[in-house]
């Protein structure tokens, strides 16, 4: 009898612990592979690691060195230019397309997937396609010449000063449809009664959107910003496929900088320092957002 | 949301409408143009590309570039074509998607129906891991994979993708299960059903749609991954890395038609998924950004 009670006890205890046992591998993986690894990389950024990890502490030396490198300055300037244009154009284009699509368009069901499919492609495929489209020899410039526009000139991808803008072109092509979908979902949530009331008051379409609809899309703006900002900091594949960081170093960004310093230039300490700066940039954007989202849900 | 109709109350004149349709079609052309260029040029002999017009249809239609890209093209040092790399991608994607989805479902179940103190914190920490720039884990991951003896192998990449995919799958299932009435779970518990039984009998049968979303999201992400593949694959490179090697190779004539065929081959699986299950694909994208 006593034995039986003991067994029951064990069973209930097991039932109580089971959820935590099931969750624990994920927590362990997260603690090791995410937060442990972040700590490790942070430590590396304070060490004199070159080709292999080393554990000798050298304080902030890697960071001071990093900020003196012109290569790093090129990378972050490019990132700033890229992020600003990428976020700006994607938001503008996405919002415009969403508003246009929201006007009882016949064939919306066909247009929407066309705008959105690039998101299913990898950045490597996107980069490969645009690399040849933008190539003056066989791409757009050549096509325009063939069609009789002899003076047409478009060789940004080979031009040090303009190459970063080609990255923007390809990236906007890939993501803007997705931003459109986010805004469209927001627009579909806007209450039509409010719009009707404003129209009766004599507001023009333009005013209607500017004063009423767009302010109501604030959550969509916020989500779009967070997604686009974190994608731009992480952008790596597209640049590798499209320009390879070139011509020269003209399109290097922190992600490519980190990779080359860590794995090909034998300066792991500096590479780690650049990764830490990337993480801090993203954390500054994501943490407040996640905090607000999770608090709201409770 | 359900009683909101598709139409808006905004009225527009005929001229404006013509203008709107014009713009929308123009943009459709812009989004379709690269795909058109890829397909058309993958069906041309090389001479037609170098001396002809990128936008023109082939004069001589040929499947040779596809054959080249699939089984003959020089990738790295071996003239194997993309075939073995396509296989690598499948061998990486299938187990990684399978494992991360199951783990995500269990996590979501625990985080919504067996709540405990600090569960939101755990979830937040998991969610944050979805957004980290993976550069921050490259160095220690290389060390750890080496120590585990699975560096440069497919199991190594599966592990990497599972670990960094759990955040997303957990997010999907958590938000999906959160709206499922907890009373039903409690009632089943009182009837004597245990933890796993409730999961099998009650949660799993309703999980169809979100499982599709999760599988599609993971499939697309892992298939399209380049950074991890380039860093940890060794000789077992996935499709994206192989395609990049093919396109960037500096030796010999640039065979644009083969590159385009290769790019389509690399894009085909995710594109097919998008065509077949686009609705779920969009839902996954949205759930990853806007609150679920």
Burial of residue B5, with CB atoms counted within 10 A of its CB: 0-12 exposed, 13-18 middle, 19 or more buried: exposed
Residue in B124, B129, B285 nearest the CB of A178: B285
Residue in A121, A137, A196 nearest the CB of B9: A196
Write the DSSP symbol of residue A117: G
Q: Do A128 and B259 touch (CB under 8 A)?
A: yes
Q: How far apart are the CA of B61 and the nearest CA of chain A, in angstroms?
A: 19
Rounded to whole angstroms, how far apart are CA atoms B218 and B200?
Answer: 22
**Is-contact B217 B173, C-beta < 8 A?**
no
Half-sphere exposure of A195 (CA within 13 A, CB side): 21
Domain spans in chain A, listed from the N-terminal domain onward: 66-297
ipTM entry: 0.86
pLDDT in tens, A178-237: 899 889 988 888 877 887 888 788 778 888 888 888 888 888 898 889 889 989 998 899
Euclidean distance between the first and the last CA atom of chain A, given in angstroms as a whole number: 45
Minimum Cα–Cα distance from A227: chain B residue: B289
Question: If you average pLDDT over residues B104-110, what whole number do you get?
Answer: 94
**Is-contact B210 B173, C-beta < 8 A?**
yes
**Inter-axis angle of helices B14-42 and A123-133, nearest 10:** 90
Phi-psi region of A59 (alpha: psi -120 to 50; beta: other; left: phi over 0): left
**Is-contact A19 B116, C-beta < 8 A?**
yes
**Is-contact A100 A183, C-beta < 8 A?**
no
pLDDT value of residue B157: 93
**Is-contact B235 B157, C-beta < 8 A?**
no
Domain spans in chain B, listed from the N-terminal domain onward: 14-62, 83-287
Percentage with pLDDT > 70 across chain B: 93
pLDDT value of residue B4: 41
Q: How far apart are the CA of A19 and the nearest CA of chain B, in angstroms?
A: 6
- B78 pairs with which residues across the strands? B75
Q: How confident is the model at residue B3 (pLDDT cuts 50, 70, 90)?
A: very low
- CATH number for the region A66-297 comes to 1.10.3720.10
Residue A117: what are its φ and ψ, rounded to 5°? -60, -30
* CATH superfamily ID and name for B83-287: MetI-like (1.10.3720.10)
pLDDT value of residue B291: 44
Chain A CB contacts of B38 below 8 Å: 129
| DSSP reduced 3-state for A181 | helix
pLDDT value of residue B2: 36
Rounded to whole angstroms, how far apart are CA atoms B47 and B255?
Answer: 10
Distance of CA A18 to the CA centre of its chain: 37
Nearest partner of B248 among A205, A146, A128, judged by Cα: A128
Residue in A195, A236, A290 nearest the CB of B8: A195
Rounded to whole angstroms, how far apart are CA atoms A136 and A125?
Answer: 19
Minimum Cα–Cα distance from A49: chain B residue: B139
Assess whether pLDDT exceeds 60 at residue B212: yes
Q: How confident is the model at residue B28 (pLDDT cuts 50, 70, 90)?
A: very high
Residue in B133, B163, B195 nearest the CB of A29: B163
pLDDT in tens, B222-275: 999 999 998 888 888 898 998 888 888 777 778 888 889 999 999 999 999 888
Residues in chain A with pLDDT values less than 70: 1-8, 296-298
For the whole model, what pTM was predicted? 0.88
pLDDT in tens, B110-157: 999 888 888 888 888 888 888 899 999 999 999 999 898 888 889 999
For A:54-83, CB contacts with B below 8 A are none
pLDDT value of residue A154: 82
Q: How far apart are the CA of B244 and the nearest CA of chain A, in angstroms?
A: 6
pLDDT value of residue B9: 56
Q: What is the 3-state secondary structure (H, E, C) of chain B?
A: CCCCCCCCCCCCCHHHHHHHHHHHHHHHHHHHHHHHHHHHHHCCCHHHHHHCCCCCCCCCCCCHHHHHHHHHCCECCECCCCHHHHHHHHHHHHHHHHHHHHHHHHHHHHHHHCCCCCHHHHHHHHHHHHHCCCHHHHHHHHHHHHHHCCCCCHHHHHHHHHHHHHHHHHHHHHHHHHCCCHHHHHHHHHCCCCHHHHHHHHHHHHCHHHHHHHHHHHHHHHHHCCHHHHHHCCCCCCHHHHHHHHHHCCCCCCCHHHHHHHHHHHHHHHHHHHHHHHHHHHHHHHHCCCCC
Chain A CB contacts of B35 below 8 Å: 117, 129
Rounded to whole angstroms, how far apart are CA atoms B107 and B113?
Answer: 10
Nearest partner of A208 among B73, B8, B156, B119, judged by Cα: B8
Q: Judge whether A22 is closer than 8 Å to chain B, CB to CB.
A: yes
For A:126-185, CB contacts with B below 8 A are 126, 128-133, 137-140, 142-143, 146-147, 173, 177-178, 181-182, 185
Q: Which two tokens stand for residue A150?
A: 């002899």
Q: Which of B5, B14, B55, B133 to mutate to test the interface with A (most CBs of A within 10 A)?
A: B133
Residue-wise burial string across B62-94, b where 16 or more C-beta atoms lie within 10 A, e elsewhere: eebbbebbbeebbbeeeebbbbbbbebbebbbe
Rounded to whole angstroms, how far apart are CA atoms B78 and B71?
Answer: 11
Question: If you average pLDDT over residues B34-63, what whole number do you get?
Answer: 86
């Amino acid at each position: 009898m006593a034995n039986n009670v003991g067994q029951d006890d064990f069973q209930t205890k097991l039932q109580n612990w089971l959820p935590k046992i099931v969750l624990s591998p994920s927590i362990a993986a997260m603690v090791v592979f995410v937060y442990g690894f972040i700590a490790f990389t942070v430590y590396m950024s304070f060490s004199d690691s070159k080709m292999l990890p080393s554990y000798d502490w050298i304080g902030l030396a890697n960071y001071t060195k990093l900020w003196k490198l012109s290569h790093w300055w090129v990378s972050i300037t490019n990132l700033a230019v890229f992020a600003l244009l990428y976020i700006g154009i994607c938001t503008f284009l996405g919002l415009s397309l969403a508003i246009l699509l929201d006007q009882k368009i016949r064939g919306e069901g066909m247009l929407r997937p066309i705008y959105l499919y690039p998101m299913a492609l990898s950045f490597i495929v996107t980069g490969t396609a645009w690399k040849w489209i933008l190539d003056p020899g066989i791409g757009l410039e050549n096509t325009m010449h063939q069609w009789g526009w002899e003076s047409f000139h478009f060789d940004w991808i080979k031009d040090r000063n303009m190459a970063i803008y080609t990255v923007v072109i390809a990236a906007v092509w890939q993501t803007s449809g997705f931003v459109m979908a986010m805004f469209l979902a927001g627009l579909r949530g806007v209450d039509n009664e409010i719009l009707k009331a404003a129209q009766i008051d004599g507001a023009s379409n333009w005013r209607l959107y500017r004063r009423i609809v767009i302010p109501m899309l604030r959550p969509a703006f916020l989500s779009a910003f967070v997604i686009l900002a974190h994608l731009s900091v992480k952008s790596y594949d597209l640049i590798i496929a499209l320009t390879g960081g070139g011509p020269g170093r003209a399109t290097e960004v922190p992600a490519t900088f980190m990779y080359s310093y860590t794995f090909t230039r034998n300066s792991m300490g500096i590479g780690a320092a650049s990764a830490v700066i990337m993480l801090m940039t993203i954390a500054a954007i994501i943490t407040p957002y996640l905090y607000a989202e999770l608090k709201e849900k409770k | 949301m359900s009683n909101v109709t598709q139409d808006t109350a905004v009225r527009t004149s005929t001229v404006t409408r013509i203008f709107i349709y014009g713009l929308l079609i123009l943009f459709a052309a812009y989004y379709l143009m690269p795909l058109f260029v890829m397909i058309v040029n993958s069906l041309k002999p090389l001479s037609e590309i170098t001396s002809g017009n990128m936008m023109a249809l082939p004069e001589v239609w040929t499947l040779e570039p596809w054959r080249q890209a699939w089984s003959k093209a020089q990738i790295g040092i071996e003239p194997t074509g993309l075939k073995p790399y396509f296989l690598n991608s499948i061998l990486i994607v299938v187990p990684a998607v399978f494992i991360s989805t199951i783990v995500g479902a269990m996590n979501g179940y625990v985080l919504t129906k067996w709540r405990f103190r600090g569960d939101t914190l755990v979830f937040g920490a998991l969610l944050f891991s979805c957004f980290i720039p993976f550069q921050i884990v490259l160095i220690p991951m290389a060390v750890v994979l080496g120590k585990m003896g699975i560096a440069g192998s497919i199991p190594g990449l599966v592990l990497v993708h599972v670990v960094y995919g759990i955040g997303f799958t957990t997010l999907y299932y958590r938000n999906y299960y959160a709206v499922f009435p907890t009373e039903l779970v409690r009632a089943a518990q009182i009837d004597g059903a245990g933890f796993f039984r409730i999961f099998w009998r009650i949660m799993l049968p309703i999980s169809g749609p979100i499982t599709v979303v999760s599988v599609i999201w993971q499939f697309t992400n892992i298939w399209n991954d380049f950074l991890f593949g380039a860093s940890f694959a060794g000789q077992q490179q996935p499709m994206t890395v192989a395609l990049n090697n093919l396109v960037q190779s500096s030796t010999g004539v640039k065979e644009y038609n083969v590159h385009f065929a290769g790019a389509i081959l690399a894009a085909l699986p995710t594109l097919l998924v998008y065509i077949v299950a686009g609705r779920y694909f969009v839902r996954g994208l949205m759930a990853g950004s806007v609150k679920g």
